[in-house]
Amino acid sequence: MRRSSRPQVAIVDYGMGNLFSVKHACAYAGMEASTTSTAQELLAADAVILPGVGAFGDAMAMLARRDLVSVLRDIAASGKPLLGICLGLQLLMRESSEFGRHDGLGIIDGDVVRLEGGRDHGRAAKVPQVGWNRIHRRGAQAWTGSLLDGVPEDAYMYFVHSFYVRPVDPGLVVATTRYGPAEFCSGLRQGNVCAVQFHPERSGPDGLTIYRNLAARLPASMPEVQHA
Amino acid sequence: MPEIAIKATDAQLDAKYGLPKEVRFCTRCVMSNQRPASMPEFRHRPDRRGAKYLHIDAQGVCDACRYADKKEQIDWKIRESELLRLLDTHRCADGGYDCIVPGSGGKDSAYAAHLLKYKYGMHPLTVTWTPTLYTDYGWRNFRNWIEVGGFDNVTFKPNGRVHRLLTRLAIEHLLHPFQTFILGQKNLAPKMAARFGVPLIFYGESEAEYGNPIAETATSLRDASYYTMRNLEDVYLAGLPIPALMERHGLSLNDLSAYLPADGEALASSKIEVHYLGYYLKWTPQEAYYYAVEHTGFQARPFRTEGTYSKYNSIDDKIDDLHYYTTHIKFGLGRASYDASQEIRNKHLTREEGVALVRRFDGEVPERYVREVMGELGMKPEQFFELCDRFRSPHLWKREGGAWSLKHHVS
Amino acid sequence: MTIRMIARLDIKGPNLVKGIHLEGLRVLGTPEQFAKAYYEQGADELLYMDVVASLYGRNSLLDIVARTSREIFIPLTVGGGLRTLEDIQQALRAGADKVALNTAAIRNPTLVQDATTRFGSSTIVVSIEAIRKPDGHYEAYTDNGREPTGVDAFAWARQAAELGAGELLITSIDREGTGEGFDLELTRRIAEAVPIPVIACGGAGTAQHVADVIVHGKADAVCMASLLHYHLIKQDGKKRRAGLEAEGNLEYLKSRRGFSKIQGTSFPAIKAFLGTQGMICRQPAGETVHA
């Protein structure tokens, strides 16, 4: 197989999500990205990104229809970098209560619940949260060596969501965000699995840092292998 | 019920009013060779004797587009210095007026008056002939022109009975609802100039920009034949000679005087000059819109004018919509054709866009105001539309399945 | 929670244009130049409107959307002439994050419902362009402010929210391009009537206007055009004039005039001003400013 000299990232295409912005952000960070829904390509990639915009139940159904559920679990177990974005973060969890109870991928123990509205700095905090909000580092070293390495503490990122995750193990939480009465998990990490509630490909230069970090941890240029 | 003086022979002509029998469209703008060049309205007879139409040359380019090309070559600095010299010789320091700007507060007169006063230090007197029926925005823009822009204004309102009668007659004999306004507006300024002793008059753009004989663009002056008469016998108003108007319709010379041009000899001795500001300054109508909004409180209408896509062109008179509908009937050219052609020449639109706009909007029936205007004139909308049908030239229109359609579409 | 500052780029063909009362197509430069500058200056989002799409029955923004999304990594909303689910799909594929629907949605409200079901609420913005009538009603207009609909703007806003729209973009046609300030009543009444975010558009002439529409208009986000564009071209006139194609009303740019109705300002200045008024905005990378 002819291997490109650039790291290959596979973006899971299950019919939902802003694949193109993710793809462009990868390209900008020096990675070659392709959208795919085949297990083979996902397993062959250097890293996998699970994006997502939409409803949890629909997403799980789409993943199931494409036979991607066990594939994603395998990828998580393989040690390969797996980045979940927005709904992609939520899908990693054990279950969600969006429009009824749904099973998730179960890669991370915890559930997904609805954001409460309320007031935020004197204004109505509407649901979904649409807009820029700060992410707070959980502990001084929480981001060191992770995909958030180099992102300024309390940086602004772009959020569009009505639900948030509650991992059972608080040690997994690397970033939190305040909205309305809640302070929720906006970023978590479990070994090779890193996932964020916000959209790093839509969060300007700080968001792009995350993509650059991903690129930096992938195998460097591979020599081209020629076949006879 | 007034007589409808359409001669039976007209219906037998293949092409009415001496229109070119073969319809050709300019390959650059969307005008056709059916577009009438300006003629002095007071010589306008039902058979349009002596009328000229837009010339399209062997390469398929019309005179207006050729002129637009020439405009690109003009050294506007030189032209402006000519303007400055002209203004210097007229500028008043004794508190009087030194120029007349005719208009109604539309974007063009707003632009012209404001420039002359605030940029060039002149002391204009604005002169207005009232529209037949003011639109809300027209009235507001007129007021703002004076109040926000800051000008003295003399407004002439003609005798309502006479105006309504003449307008109705113009529709019946010429299908020209706008004639009385044109007569009034074009003839008023020179007369006011004579009365106030202000010999310098400024209009905006020359009609040559739109297709009058190209020779007219060589000078800044409006030809005196457009606004003076030598002989009352040559004059036709509403398509009728003066004696017919007086005998058949009981109008006196005094009744008609507002619509008559100034006497040629009298004016010649008065040194009155009518200039086009568009000769001296590069005129972009769309920029006149922005300028008018910026400086004289002008506001575009919040809806599209019927028959076109524009919201700021000629929006002060309700009868305007009917006017462009009648040009569509008589010449196959509606408002969108006029607006788009001008914008194509100014390079705001591509020809393709112009064609799309004409196809979409030209000839739209003027539903919005037709009832009110007809009511004002003592006519019924049905009469108007019946008259329209009689004025359709067979070389332009065909009737299929109970509906009229143009034989030729711009493409 | 921050108040989002959004730059609106009206586009015709290859050009960025700016009218008054949604009329007039004065060219100010190319969209790419402006988009890049605003991204670098801290815009939170961009809005691209094809202002002649409905007029010509076309939408020609796909190329520029695709180009933008390769270089600019903040949310991009695209509107103008989007009529069907396929149109929306195409816009999203080209790189748009959200689409704004006006003409098609008012004519056929089920489009809103279908679109939100298919693409998600957060992807669908309903754009309402309104004019204040003498009797105090606000009427919604379509086709870039050309066709009255007879539809009450407030009733339509509520309906759009119920049909699943993620956000509402509210433009005052009376104010837009004039620099005279937003229509606070229009914005506030809608913001108070719907549970979804409301983006105010139309009339910003100074940073104070922006503050006013947030406080008194209850806007969740503010969309600006003239305020930003006229300022940007002052700074970089030569660059703006370079690379322009011959098409369009270029007279203003060539003349290098000012436009006295707009004071003009930039994102950093607006955000700094809002900060002094106690409003929270996203600050550029590397800075942490506490309210």
Which residues of chain C have a CB within 8 Å of the CB of B303? 141, 146-148
Q: What are C83's two structure tokens?
A: 């009529």
Domain residue spans in chain B?
Answer: 1-318
Q: What are C109's two structure tokens?
A: 């409200």
Which residues of chain C have a CB within 8 Å of the CB of B290? 20, 24, 26, 252, 259
Distance CA B297, CA B105 (A): 10
* Interface-testing mutation among B294, B296, B298, B351, with chain C (most C C-beta atoms within 10 A): B294
Condensed to tens digits (0 to 9), the pLDDT of residues B42-95 reads: 888 888 877 888 999 999 999 999 988 988 889 999 999 999 999 999 999 999
Mean pLDDT of A59-71: 92
Would you call C251 and B286 a contact, using CB atoms and an 8 Å cutoff? yes
Residue C137 backbone class (left: φ over 0; alpha: ψ -120 to 50; beta: rest): beta
Which residues of chain C have a CB within 8 Å of the CB of B309? 55, 146
What are the residues whose beta carbons fall under 8 Å from the beta carbon of C171, sequence distance 6 or more?
C127, C128, C129, C130, C201, C202, C223
Interchain contact A/B (3 or more Cβ pairs less than 8 Å): no
What are the residues whose beta carbons fall under 8 Å from the beta carbon of A167, sequence distance 6 or more?
A93, A108, A109, A110, A173, A185, A188
pLDDT bin (cut points 50, 70, 90) of residue A118 is confident
Please indicate if any CB of chain A lies within 8 Å of the CB of C93. yes
- What sign does the CA torsion over B64, B70, B75, B81 have? negative
Question: What is the nearest CA distance from C134 to chain A, expressed in angstroms?
Answer: 32
Which residues of chain C have a CB within 8 Å of the CB of A27? 70
Active site residues of C: 10, 129
CATH number of B1-318: 3.40.50.620
Question: What are φ and ψ of residue A17, in 5° steps?
Answer: 125, 160
pLDDT at C239: 65
Q: What are C31's two structure tokens?
A: 């969209």
* Contact status, residue B399 vs residue B344, Cβ threshold 8 Å: no
C113 burial via Cβ count (<10 Å: 0-12, 13-18, 19+): middle
Distance CA C57, CA C106 (A): 16
**Positions in chain C short of pLDDT 50:** 286-291
Q: What are B390's two structure tokens?
A: 């009689």
Is A86 among the catalytic positions? yes
CA C143 to chain centroid, in Å, comes to 15
Q: Given a cut of 70, is residue A222 above it in pLDDT? A: no
Q: According to the per-residue pLDDT averaged within each range, which of B150-154, B305-309, C271-275 is highest? A: B150-154
How many interchain CB pairs under 8 A, B with C? 78
Question: What is the nearest CA distance from B293 to chain C, expressed in angstroms?
Answer: 8
pLDDT at C150: 94
Identity of the residue in C173, C249, C252 whose CB atom sits nearest the CB atom of B302: C173
Distance CA C44, CA A167 (A): 30
| Percentage of chain B modeled with pLDDT above 70 | 93
Distance CA A185, CA A164 (A): 7
Please indicate if any CB of chain A lies within 8 Å of the CB of C282. yes
Q: What are C120's two structure tokens?
A: 């998600």
pLDDT at A20: 86
Is A199 among the catalytic positions? yes
CATH number of C4-276: 3.20.20.70
Please indicate if any CB of chain A lies within 8 Å of the CB of C275. no
* Contact status, residue B40 vs residue B264, Cβ threshold 8 Å: no
Q: What are A99's two structure tokens?
A: 């429009």
Q: Which residue of A has its CA nearest to C278?
A: A121
Q: How many CB atoms lie within 10 A of CB A225?
A: 8
Interchain contact B/C (3 or more Cβ pairs less than 8 Å): yes
Distance CA B309, CA C23 (A): 10
Which of these, B311, B295, B335, lies nearest to B112 by C-alpha position?
B295
Which residues of chain B have a CB within 8 Å of the CB of C131? 302
- Options 1.10.3720.10, 3.40.50.880, 2.30.40.10, 3.50.30.30; CATH for A8-221 is 3.40.50.880
Please indicate if any CB of chain A lies within 8 Å of the CB of C188. no
Q: What are A168's two structure tokens?
A: 């059972």
How many interchain CB pairs under 8 A, A with C? 95
Would you call C178 and B293 a contact, using CB atoms and an 8 Å cutoff? yes
Query: Read out DSSP for C240-286?
Result: HHTT--S-SB-HHHHHT---TT-----HHHHHHHHHHTT---PPPTT
Residue B200 backbone class (left: φ over 0; alpha: ψ -120 to 50; beta: rest): beta
Please indicate if any CB of chain A lies within 8 Å of the CB of C221. yes
For B165-198, letters b (16+ CB in 10 Å) and e give bbbbbbbbbbbbbbbbbbbbbbbbbbbbbbeeeb
- Write down the ipTM of this complex: 0.86
Q: Given a cut of 70, is residue A171 above it in pLDDT? A: yes
Between B5 and C178, the higher pLDDT residue: C178
Mean pLDDT of B324-346: 93
pLDDT at B240: 92
pLDDT at C242: 65
Mean pLDDT of B97-122: 94
- In sequence order, what are the beta bridge partners of A110? A167
Q: Given a cut of 80, is residue B38 above it in pLDDT? A: no
The verdict on whether omega for the bond into residue B241 sits within 30 degrees of 0, i.e. cis, is: no
pLDDT at B227: 80
Question: What is the nearest CA distance from C121 to chain B, expressed in angstroms?
Answer: 31
Which of these, A12, A15, A143, A5, lies nearest to A74 by C-alpha position?
A12
What are the residues whose beta carbons fall under 8 Å from the beta carbon of B17, sequence distance 6 or more?
B47, B48, B51, B330, B393
Would you call A131 and C288 a contact, using CB atoms and an 8 Å cutoff? no
Q: Which residue of C has its CA nearest to A156?
A: C282
Condensed to tens digits (0 to 9), the pLDDT of residues A172-185 reads: 999 999 998 889 99
Would you call C249 and B287 a contact, using CB atoms and an 8 Å cutoff? yes
Question: What is the nearest CA distance from C37 to chain B, expressed in angstroms?
Answer: 25
Give the chains touching A; criterion: ≥3 Cβ pairs < 8 Å. C
Identity of the residue in A179, A205, A208 whose CB atom sits nearest the CB atom of C1: A179
Options A86, A161, A185, A194, the catalytic residue:
A86
Give the chains touching B; criterion: ≥3 Cβ pairs < 8 Å. C
Q: Which amino acid is at B22?
A: E
Domain residue spans in chain A?
Answer: 8-221
Would you call B311 and C21 a contact, using CB atoms and an 8 Å cutoff? yes
Condensed to tens digits (0 to 9), the pLDDT of residues B206-250 reads: 665 565 655 566 677 877 777 888 788 889 999 999 999 999 999
Q: Which amino acid is at C27?
A: V
Could you tell me which residues of chain B have a Cβ less than 8 Å from any Cβ in chain C?
A: 282, 284, 286-287, 289-290, 293-295, 299-300, 302-304, 309-312, 346-348, 350, 353, 356-357, 360
* Contact status, residue A207 vs residue C73, Cβ threshold 8 Å: yes
In the stretch 103-132 of chain C, residues with CB closer than 8 A to chain A read 119-123
pLDDT bin (cut points 50, 70, 90) of residue B283 is confident
